Each structure stands twice: as structure tokens, then as C-alpha cells.
A and B are shown apart, each in its own frame.
Chain A
């Protein structure tokens, strides 16, 4: 079983809609959680991190964490075509600042 699981997609949403991206992880001791965006042919870029249960908002992005359910999600409000990318969930599973990444969910925002 992979330590960090994501649905590979593609997830298609119309422009202006809310995109919901989900991630589950297996290590109950994980303390920090990250979302990265990766455009095709580019390197991943950090968009959100969350440490505590609940919601964390930054502009159009909201990260949600539920440690009891071992679940982290990313909501993108008012989705734009420029949001079309692969979104990677990453979890600090082993300490030492090492991140384990999911395989990513491809998001397509359609006009």
C-alpha cells in the first residue's frame, strides 16, 4: 500500500466551479502536509501547507486536514484555466524533513 494516495484523474471542472482534490495517507504519526502544483514540463511549486486539523485558507485555495481520518484535501474556488495542472499531495512521514509524495491528480479546468 502506497503511503500517500491520490486519484490520478483527470478531474475536469468548468471554469468558475470549485475543484476538490483529495489525498489519504497511511502514517498516523504524520505531522505536516503540503500541496504542490506542477505544470507539464515544469517543477513542482508549493501552494499550501497545513499542520493542524481543520481548514486553512489562502486566496482561492483552502487546505483541509482530518488527522483522525488520515485525509487531506485541497479546494480551489473560482477555478481558472490557468489552474489546469497536476496537484501533488506530500506528507512528512518519516521525520527529518523528508516528504513522501502522492502520484498526483491532474486537474483540467474547461472553458
Chain B
């Protein structure tokens, strides 16, 4: 299916565990982004990528790692999950400056 797909939709993990959130897009968009959404903070940028093998930090990158070996995939890894990383995570992609298309989100709970 065309579009942007995130997996899993829901995840519960324990403090200290490593967890990877997946993001896949079929449009070959150059730009991909990871945001987290929390009450009172809105959407905050974690990491972004302008192309394969090019990534950069956003507003709240601590505790997260990204990679982008292929244009279509942009996984986000929490190296050692903490309760403060409980959030809804959105992946997005875009081409040029025409706005983002978001994935359906991953609701992550760290217990």
C-alpha cells in the first residue's frame, strides 16, 4: 500500500529495555521526521533526515537513536527506555516544502 506506515501501533515495554519503532514510506520522499506528542507540549521534533545516511537532531533527541540506510525506512530506537519516554510517536515524510504526511502513530508506554 502506498503511504507511510508505522509499527507497532501500540507497545508496552519495561524501563531499561531497548525498543525500536519502525517507519516506512513508499513515496521516496527525501525528508523524514520523528515527533513525539505529549499533553501540554504538542508535537516536538526528535530527529529528522534530509536523505539516506543524513540525519540530524531535533528539539528533544536525548535517549533516542535513528538511522536511515534506505530512503524509505527511518527507524527510531530508544536505547534504554525511561518512563518519561511514554508518549505517542509520529513519523512523517515530506518532499520540498509542501507539508508533512504523518503515519498513524505508535503509542508507547514504558512501565
Contacts and interface: CB of A to CB of B under 8 A. Distances in A.
Main SS of chain B's interface residues? strand
A27 B100 CA distance: 20
B38 to A, nearest CB: 10
B102 A103 contact: no
Q: Give the bracket for the number of chain A residues in contact with chain B.
A: 20 to 34
Query: Which residue, of B97, B102, B103, has the highest number of chain A Cβ atoms within 10 A?
Result: B97
Interface stretch (A12-20, A42-50, A54-62, A71-79): A42-50
Nearest to A47: B99
B74 interface: no
Interface in B33-83: 33, 35, 40-45, 48, 50, 56, 58
B85 to A, nearest CB: 19
Contact of B99 (A34, A96, A98, A104): A34
B98 A49 contact: yes
A32 interface: yes
Given A43-B104, A44-B90, A101 B99 contact: no
B105 to A, nearest CB: 5
Contacts of A46: 99-101
Given A88-B42, A103-B41, A97 B103 contact: no
21 contacts: A31-B97, A32-B97, A34-B99, A36-B99, A42-B105, A43-B102, A43-B105, A44-B102, A96-B48, A96-B50, A96-B56, A97-B50, A97-B96, A97-B97, A98-B58, A99-B100, A101-B35, A101-B44, A103-B41, A103-B42, A104-B42
Interface of B: 31, 33, 35, 40-45, 48, 50, 56, 58, 90, 94, 96-105
User: Would you list the 4 A-B pairs with minimal beta carbon distance, nearest first?
Assistant: A103-B42, A43-B102, A101-B43, A46-B99
